[in-house]
Amino acid sequence: MKRRTFLHHTSLGVSVLAIPGLSCSSTDEDKAVGQLAATGRPSYRVGSEHLIFGPNGSRFVLDPESHAVHRGEHKTVEASFTSLGDRASEVNFPIDAAVGADGRLYVVDHGNDRVVIFDAKGLRLGDVGGMRRPRGVIVLRNGHLAACDVAGHAVQRFTADGQPASRLTGDGQNPLNGPCALAEDPLGNLHVVDAGNCRVVVLSYKGEVVRTYGSHGAGEGQLLMPRAIAIDGHGRVCVGEAATGFIHVFDMEGRFLERFLPIGPGGDPVAPLELSFDPNGELYIWAPGTHAPMALVNA
């Protein structure tokens, strides 16, 4: 299996844009913290580590450039999920992952156009193919798997052991165009980042389009290069856009609540390429250009 070389921004084609009036000094950041507490935005951490949290409190760090996924805290690796003895098992640029209730780890092997399934001990159980440029992946409440087939313009659903279950493409009026991230809300609906149409499409369990929200533009609730999504326990939907760095907050019905510009450890705006909530409801923002582990920005 041939290795392909990727850079942090190559596969996503993104960069942070400077926005006049939005770069925060330390004084501005102090004011922002107070505003965040008043408006109820989630506290967040920004850093160069792409973190995934399991339902049992486990924590994984994705390392795309080293072609590996590590279980454990920063600099305290308990186990690594990478080359396991033969070329067919190698992970090539793991860009996302999800953890099942039984400890299974599902890794988006972006460079090999598949999702690789590991057990809790790191043993490769199999893989799921049939996708082109897969990206986001989640474990659904029923234990099934859902993954974004970006170039196939679909969301693929599989059983826990990787058997195909269904393929969701939207409908005639709202076809998916380059879906790249997804999250499940408490009602079981899928909120899919429809990157090519600069919006979020909400799909029912049956695959029917329930609603859409967001639109192309630079205003509040509008999206430019949306790339990430996460839903917290309160039903707040956070959508990150790479072009401007804003994170837009919606409710589950798609009503816009607010937006904010995440600030990295160095005090500059960052591009939120991936979002995830930990079990305590804190938002983790993966921003490779920060070159620093996760740092608490506000609470």
Average pLDDT rounded to a whole number, residues 149-177? 97
CA dist 251 and 228 (Å) reads 16
CA dist 78 and 96 (Å) reads 19
- The predicted structure's pLDDT at residue 22: 27
- What's the predicted TM-score (pTM) here? 0.83
Q: Where are the beta strands (DSSP E) in 150-225?
A: 154-158, 164-168, 179-184, 190-194, 199-203, 209-213
> Which residue would you say has higher pLDDT here, 145 or 234?
145
pLDDT digits (tens, 9 = 90+) for 17-46: 322 222 223 334 333 333 333 345 789 999
Instruction: Using CB atoms within 10 Å of the CB of residue 105, give its burial: 0 to 12 exposed, 13 to 18 middle, 19+ buried.
Output: buried
pLDDT digits (tens, 9 = 90+) for 74-128: 544 556 666 443 455 688 999 999 999 999 999 999 999 999 999 988 889 999 9
CA dist 239 and 116 (Å) reads 26
Q: Domains of the chain, with CATH numbers?
A: 26-298 (2.120.10.30)
For 126, the token pair is: 């199999």
